[in-house]
Amino acid sequence: MVTSKTNRSARVRQTVLMGLLFAMAMVLSYVESMITVPGLPPGVKLGLSNIVTMYCVFFLGGRQAYTLAVLKGFFALLTRGFTAACMSTAGGLVSVTVMLVLIRLKRLDLSYTLISVCGSLGHNFGQLAMASVIMQSGFVIYYLPIMAVSGIGMGVATGVILRVMLPYMNKLRLTQS
């Protein structure tokens, strides 16, 4: 009986935590949409909501990170349409996969920032692959250098922001006990 109650309590806690993280990701996405950075090429964004996805990858696990990536894609569908949903989901799933593979290579002992950069590059690659499918053209590959440079820059930024936010997130007891 106690085990059943404990399991139920853990599932409820996990559901509440995922809801909170999803809400944080949506707020960051909204805030990001209000920020205009002059000179950024089309399609280049800061990726603030990816900070929450990285948190999931590092502290909650793959299942939760994939769930959050899909939920973010659904949010894009509701707010920006089908194409944005496809791009968000493809980028998010590739990004999570890249970060999980790097984390599992424990002997490399990579930093959050480096894993963030690789995840960002994976996100951009996933989006370009989806754009190629949607447009039925391979010409999107010519945009790869721009997306790679932006992916490195934005990956460093989001990795550093995650590092700065971790003490505050830990104070909220977002990590599992």
> Is 156's pLDDT higher than 80?
yes
> Is 173's pLDDT higher than 80?
no
Predicted local confidence at residue 177, as pLDDT:
44
Q: Taking Cα atoms as reference points, which of 5, 3, 23 lies closest to residue 172?
A: 23
> Is 42's pLDDT higher than 90?
no
What gap in Å lies between CA 160 and CA 154, rounded to an integer?
10
Residues 6+ apart with CB under 8 A from 131: 87, 140
pTM beyond 0.75 = yes
